[in-house]
Amino acid sequence: MGQSSSEAAAPACRRPSSPPLPKRRRPGVSGQGRQPWLLRTREAGNQEAAKEASFRSGMECGMRRAREGNDSDPRGSIPARSNNLQRALQWHNGDASDRAHLGIHPSRSLQPIAPFPDYINGLVISGGGRFNGQGASAWPYNQCKKTQDCKPLPMNLVFSFVVNAAIKSISSIDSMFFHIHIFGSRNITFDSIKISAPGDSPNTDGIHIANSANIQVSNSVIGTGDDCISIGPGCTNLTIFRVLCGPGHGISVGSLGKNAGEKDVIGLYVSKCNLTGTTNGLRIKTLQSSPSTLKASHFRFEQIIMNNVYNPIIIDQNYCPSANCPKKNPSLVKITDIKYRNIMGTFLSPVAYNLVCSEAAPCEGVELSDISLKYNGNGKQANNASICVHVYGSSNGNVKPDPCI
């Protein structure tokens, strides 16, 4: 299809002497060198066609500036204001010799985007701009509560196979599905991120991480209709620090055990977070009849404040997110070495600790230490505000309500 007149009239790079980008080739082609990156989009509803040229020109300028060693000033990269993205963004990255710095500025507009070269090692996105997924037009068509095999809707930002990246001071609004999805990546920091969607928007997880290592989320504010941060299988060494969560479903590991071949989740550190008005606080969830035998281990939840959280501390190995979950056999996910320390605040459900583990793989090494949670619900608090099923562990220090381990 030919280019539109707006594409043909795209402004040239401000550095006319810079060499053009190399022609993109598929990974693995002999002699291609290391390609910088690929940016893809998906159609988001019945929106107008993408206008690519202005974004392409800005990106080429930014990449040239990076190669020339002048990447400290992102103004030649990707300018954006509080934009109405008409396509969701997908980043599919990996190795690259170039360092890309994308400045998402709040004073300019960002058009929908076309594919760019594959893979990146070293990505910086910053600038204070916003990605608006216009999700309200698509949420009524979400079928995930009815079936586990629902078709995911487009997401605002997807980082796949990204290495050594820093994402800072950007916002995501009203994504149709997950706001930010990280897959197969390592060594990424997210700092000062703002994520917002209505509390009843379906499957709008703030940040979802899967099959990734050394990911850090810090100093961020997330209020959405699903988990503020969700962690899928295959993750190691994750850090969540100083995150304000709410509304939403809290900070969750899982669900785990849905698919064969899932990898372990090892190493999670959640510290100095504040959860307000969330349906859940700190949750680990696995499915029954899981085809995978995997481990979830070495988790630390420390210095957490909960403000009127409905279910503060949950391990649910009978988790069922839809109407047709298989329930024939207990979960095969083994949960061990889980520490809850220095947690305080208020909760709304009759039960503060709901620890329901698998008969086939009981939880071991669960610790509750120095916890002060006060019931603030409308009804009468249950005499026993703690439920423990197939769980082994200990309690230390002053733990209120009284624990069952």
User: In this predicted structure, what is the pLDDT of residue 164?
Assistant: 94
> Closest Cα partner for 400 from 371, 379, 365?
371
User: In this predicted structure, what is the pLDDT of residue 21?
Assistant: 37
Q: Is the pLDDT of residue 292 over 70?
A: yes
- How many angstroms separate the Cα of 352 from the Cα of each of 109, 134, 300, 309, 377? 47, 36, 18, 10, 11
**DSSP alpha helix (H) spans, 125-246:** none
Tens digit of each residue's pLDDT (9 = 90 or more) over 216-231: 999 999 999 999 999 9
* Phi, psi for 52 (deg, rounded to 5): -90, -30
Tens digit of each residue's pLDDT (9 = 90 or more) over 139-195: 998 988 887 778 889 999 989 999 999 999 999 999 999 999 999 999 999 999 999
Active site residues: 249
Domains of the chain and CATH, by start: 34-139+149-400 (2.160.20.10)
Whole-number Å distance between alpha carbons of 336 and 72 = 45
Contact 41, 90 (CB under 8 A): yes
Q: How confident is the model at residue 94 (pLDDT cuts 50, 70, 90)?
A: very low
Tell me the average pLDDT across 229-246.
99
- How many angstroms separate the Cα of 271 from the Cα of each of 242, 340, 341? 7, 10, 10
> Closest Cα partner for 125 from 149, 95, 91, 97?
91
